[in-house]
Amino acid sequence: MNAAAQQAFQNLSGPGKPLRAEPPDAAEFTGLIKSAMARLDDADNPQLSIESRFDLAYNAAHALCLAALRWHGWRSGNRYIVFQLLPHTLELGPAVWRVLAKCHDIRNLGEYEGHLNIDERITADLLAAAHAVEKKVRALPTPA
């Protein structure tokens, strides 16, 4: 991990901050990927409703991003952080993490305010981002 990544993790950790160091766990890493892949496979099914596909893709992406964060030895108490740290955990740029951050906001509006404003375009973008994360996570070796 480069110095900028280490600094990003340190800036978000400590008392009252959302990130804490915790050794990676092989079973957790594998379980997160397994759960994510079941969801992502279902999200790719065009026969499902757009709402279901969005929800499945979002949760798959989150599980994959969490797996990457855990692989690096960190745990977050905030769902958004796993997307925010993608440039450092998987070297994925704004084309991916901005889509996931936007979908996080959309998901929150739907979950907490009952306003799920999605369409085919955002769902397709979400699926593309989730698959980009999947490719990077699958390249990580299982933690010891």
Q: Report yes or no on 51 lying in a domain.
A: yes
pLDDT at 144: 84
Domain CATH number, residue 125: 1.20.120.330
Report the C-alpha gap between 88 and 69 in whole angstroms.
9
Q: Report yes or no on 17 lying in a domain.
A: no
pLDDT at 43: 98
Report whether pLDDT(3) > 90: no
pLDDT digits (tens, 9 = 90+) for 104-133: 999 989 888 888 889 999 999 999 999 999
Q: Report yes or no on 79 lying in a domain.
A: yes
pLDDT digits (tens, 9 = 90+) for 6-44: 888 888 998 989 999 999 999 999 999 999 999 999 999
Mean pLDDT of 39-65: 97
Q: What average pLDDT does the structure give for the chain?
A: 94
Backbone angles phi, psi at 49, to 5 degrees: -65, 155
**Domain range spanning residue 88?**
24-138
What is the model's pTM?
0.94
Provide the domain count of the chain: 1
Q: Report yes or no on 1 lying in a domain.
A: no
Report the C-alpha gap between 129 and 119 in whole angstroms.
16
Q: Report yes or no on 104 lying in a domain.
A: yes
